[in-house]
Structure 1
Amino acid sequence: MRTTDARPHPPSFGTKLAYGFGMVASGVADNGLSFFLLIFYSQVIGVDARLVGIALTVALMFDAFVDPVVGYWSDNLRSKWGRRHPFLYASAIPAAAAFWLLWNPPAGWSDQALFGYLLVVAVAVRTMISFFETPGAALAAELTDDYDQRSSLLAYRYYFAWTGGNAMSVLMFAVIFPMFATAAIANGQFNRESYALYGWITSLLIFVAVLTSALGTHSRISHLKPPPPKREMTLGRAFKEVFETLANRSFAALFLSAMFGAIGNGLAAALTFYFLTYFWGFTGPQTLMIVLGTFISAVLGSLLAPVATRLLGKKRAAMSIGLLAVLGSPLGVVLKLFGWMPDDPQFVFWFVFIGGVIDVGLIVCFQILFASMIADLVEQSELKTGRRSEGLFFSASTFIRKLVQGLGVIAAGLVLWLARFPTGAEPSEVSDEAIWRLGAYYVPVLLLVWLAMVLVISTYKLDRRSHEENLRKLAARGTQET
Structure 2
Amino acid sequence: MATRLAFGVGGAAEGIKNNGFDYFLLFFYSQILGVPAAMVGLALILALVVDAVSDPVVGYWSDNIRTRFGRRHPFMYGALIPVALVYFLTWNPPSGLAGNELFAWLLAMTILVRLAFTMFEVPSTALAAELTQDYDARTSLMSFRYFFAWFGGLSIQILLLWVLLQNDFTNLAGWHTYGLVASICIFAAVLICALGTHRHIPHLKPPPDTRKLTLGTVFREIIETISNRSFRALFLATLCGFIATGISATLNQYINSIFWGFDPQQIAGLTVAVYLSAVLALVLAPVIGRTFGKKRGAIYTGIFAFTIAPLPVLLRLLGVLPPNGTEALYYFVLCVTVFDVALIIAYQMLAASMVADIVEDSEIQTGRRSEGIFFAGISFIRKLSQGAGVLTASVILSIAGIVAGTSPELVSETSTRSLGLGYALGVLTSWTLMLICISFYRISRETHDENLSRLRALEGAQESGPGSQ
Q: Name the TM-score, length of structure 1 as normaliser.
A: 0.94
Structure 1 residue corresponding to 2:358, chosen from 377, 391, 403:
377
Structure 2 residue corresponding to 1:111, chosen from 89, 94, 99:
99
Residue 399 of structure 1: CA displacement?
A: 1.8
The within-5 A match list for 1:46-445 is 46-178=34-166, 187-343=167-323, 345-445=326-426
Could you tell me how far apart the structure 1 residues matched to 2:11 and 2:404 are? 36
Could you tell me how far apart the structure 2 residues matched to 1:224 and 1:14 are? 17
The C-alpha deviation readout for 1:276-297, integer Å capped at 9, x for no partner, is 1100011111101100011111
| 2:390 maps to amino acid | V
| 1:116 maps to amino acid | A
Find the counterpart in structure 2 of residue 481 from structure 1: 462
RMSD after superposition? 1.1
The C-alpha deviation readout for 1:212-271, integer Å capped at 9, x for no partner, is 000000000011000000000111001111111111111111111011112111111110
Could you tell me how far apart the structure 2 residues matched to 1:435 and 1:391 are? 45
Pair 1:45 & 2:26 matched: no
Which has the higher mean CA deviation after the structures are superposed, 261-270 or 400-409?
Answer: 400-409
SS in 2 for 1:217: helix
SS in 1 for 2:199: helix
Residue 420 of structure 1: CA displacement?
A: 2.0
Could you tell me how far apart the structure 1 residues matched to 2:12 and 2:168 are? 25
Residue 191 of structure 1: CA displacement?
A: 1.3
Could you tell me how far apart the structure 1 residues matched to 2:10 and 2:392 are? 32
| Gap change, CA 1:371 and 1:434, over 3 Å in 2 | same
The C-alpha deviation readout for 1:292-344, integer Å capped at 9, x for no partner, is 01111111111111101110000000000011111110010001000010237
| 1:42 maps to amino acid | S
The C-alpha deviation readout for 1:416-445, integer Å capped at 9, x for no partner, is 122222443211111112101111222122
Contact 1:64-1:398 at 8 Å conserved across structures: no
Q: Name the TM-score, length of structure 2 as normaliser.
A: 0.97
Could you tell me how far apart the structure 2 residues matched to 1:207 and 1:467 are? 36
Could you tell me how far apart the structure 1 residues matched to 2:28 and 2:404 are? 20
Residue 172 of structure 1: CA displacement?
A: 1.1
Could you tell me how far apart the structure 2 residues matched to 1:443 and 1:49 are? 27
Find the counterpart in structure 1 of residue 467 from structure 2: none
| 1:448 maps to amino acid | T
Which has the higher mean CA deviation after the structures are superposed, 212-221 or 42-51?
Answer: 42-51
Residue 39 of structure 1: CA displacement?
A: 1.3
Residue 404 of structure 1: CA displacement?
A: 3.1
SS in 1 for 2:200: helix
Contact 1:64-1:402 at 8 Å conserved across structures: no
Could you tell me how far apart the structure 2 residues matched to 1:266 and 1:459 are? 24
| Gap change, CA 1:64 and 1:354, over 3 Å in 2 | farther
The C-alpha deviation readout for 1:51-74, integer Å capped at 9, x for no partner, is 112112221232233111111110
Structure 2 residue corresponding to 1:30, chosen from 13, 18, 24:
18
Could you tell me how far apart the structure 2 residues matched to 1:246 and 1:35 are? 31
Could you tell me how far apart the structure 2 residues matched to 1:62 and 1:386 are? 29
Find the counterpart in structure 1 of residue 441 from structure 2: 460
Runs of 4+ in 1 over 4 A off after TM superposition: none
Structure 1 runs not aligned, ≥5 long: 1-12, 179-186
Percent identity reads 47
Structure 2 runs not aligned, ≥5 long: 464-469
Could you tell me how far apart the structure 1 residues matched to 2:151 and 2:292 are? 26
Contact 1:85-1:214 at 8 Å conserved across structures: yes
